[in-house]
Amino acid sequence: MQIFLDTASVEEIKKALSFGVVSGVTTNPTLMSRESGASFKDIILKIAGMVPGPVSAEVTAHDAKGMISQAMEIVGWSDSDDFRDRITIKVPMTSEGTSAIKELSSRGISTNCTLVFTPVQAMLACEAGATFISPFVGRIDDSGLDGTAVLKDIVSMVRTNGYVSQIIAASIRHPAHVYGAAMLGCDIATIPLVVLEQCFKNPLTDIGIRKFDEDWKKFQASQAPKA
Ligand code: G3P
C-alpha cells in the first residue's frame, strides 16, 4: 500500500519525505485554510516539486462546468509533462462531480473522487472513470457506522467488478485505520503527519533498541585490549 500525506503544509511534507515512505500528497480546502501567505497555486506547485507521485488539488465549484474550468486552470499552472501527469483533480462525489470526472478523464486528466461514504457512491465514481476514489473512513466512524467495515465493502465492490480506480483510504485518524486499510488491500492510505508518526511507534521497539545499545556497549568493552 502506498502512503500519501494528507496535508497542505510544506514543512510537514519535508519532514514526512525524510522518512522515505511517502509518495504523494492529498490536499483539500480545509487543509489549505490552515496555510497562510502563499496562494493555492504557489502551494500546489511547491508541493508538486517536492513529492515524486500524485498531488491532489480540490475544485470548489458545485457544477460540472465550473469544476472543469477550475481543473483546467490547475492543470495549466505548469507546462511540464511531469506536472500534468501527477496533478490530480479532487472532485466531490455528486452527480455534477461524476459528470466532471467523466469529462476530465476523457481529456487524460487524473481525478480523485472525494467525500465517498458508501459502496454505491464508490461504484458511481468508478463508472465515471475516476483515477482514485477516497472513502472517508474516520468520518464514517463519526457518523456511528464502522468506517473500516464500509471500506472493506468498497474494496470488495471495486475488486469484484474489476474497476481500475485506485482506492485511497482517507480521513485516517489513527494507526488502526492504517492497519485496516493495509489489511484490506487498499492501494493507498492518505495519512496526516501526526498519525504517520504514531505508526512508527511501538514500546517493544524502544525497549529492543535500548537493550541492543546496552549489549553493544558490553560487547565493545569485552573487545578492549587487556592490559
Ligand atoms: O483526505 C480527507 C481528509 O483530509 C479528511 O479528514 O479528518 O477531516 O475527516 P478528516
Pocket test for ligand 1, best of 113, 117, 139, 186 (most atoms within 8 A of CB): 139
Which of 30, 33, 113, 136 should be mutated for ligand 1, with most atoms under 8 A from CB? 136
Residue 126: inside a domain, yes or no?
Answer: yes
- What's the gap in Å between 171 CA and the centre of ligand 1? 4
Judged against a pLDDT cut of 80, whether residue 36 lies above it is answered with: yes
37 lies in which domain range? 2-202
The number of distinct structural domains making up the chain is 1
Q: In this structure, which residue's CA is closest to atom 9 in ligand 1?
A: 171
Confidence of residue 61 (pLDDT cuts 50, 70, 90): very high
Residues 153-169 have a mean pLDDT of 98
Domain membership of residue 216 (yes or no) is no
pLDDT for 226 beyond 90: no
Q: Is the CB of 190 under 6 A from ligand 1?
A: yes
Which sequence positions are flagged as catalytic?
90
DSSP 8-state code for residue 136: B
Judged by DSSP in three states, 108 sits in: coil
For the Cβ of 171 lying below 6 angstroms from any atom of ligand 1, the answer is yes
Instruction: For residue 86, give the nearest of 27, 41, 29, 25 by alpha carbon.
Output: 25
Q: Is residue 39 scored above 70 in pLDDT?
A: yes
Q: What is the pLDDT of residue 227?
A: 67
Mean pLDDT of 68-85: 97
pLDDT of residue 110: 98
Q: What percent of the chain has pLDDT over 90?
A: 97
Give yes or no for residue 205 having a pLDDT over 80. yes
- Tell me whether residue 180 is in a domain: yes
For the CA of 192, the nearest atom of ligand 1? 4
CB of 112 within 6 A of ligand 1: the answer is no
Residue 210 covered by a domain? no
* 224, pLDDT greater than 90: no
Q: Which whole number is the average pLDDT over 40-48?
A: 98
Question: Is the residue at 160 inside a domain?
Answer: yes
Q: Work out the average pLDDT over 198-206.
A: 98
Residue at 139 is within a domain: yes
Helical (H) or strand (E) element with 130: none
Give me the percent of the chain exceeding a pLDDT of 70: 100
In this predicted structure, what is the pLDDT of residue 12? Answer: 98
Q: Is residue 211 part of a domain?
A: no
Classified as helix, coil or strand, 12 is helix
pLDDT, mean over the chain:
97
Average pLDDT over residues 64-73: 98
The pLDDT of residue 134? 98
CB atoms within 10 A of CB 131: 21
Return the CATH number at 78.
3.20.20.70
| Buried b / exposed e along 49-80 (16+ C-beta atoms within 10 A) | eebebbbbbbbebeebeebbebbeebbebbee
**Residue 3, pLDDT above cutoff 90:** yes
- Whether residue 69 has pLDDT greater than 80: yes
For ligand 1, atom 7: residue with the closest CA? 171
Q: Check residue 218 and give its pLDDT.
A: 97
pLDDT tops 90 at residue 225:
no
Ligand 1 close to Cβ of residue 170 (< 6 A):
yes
In a domain, 24, yes or no: yes
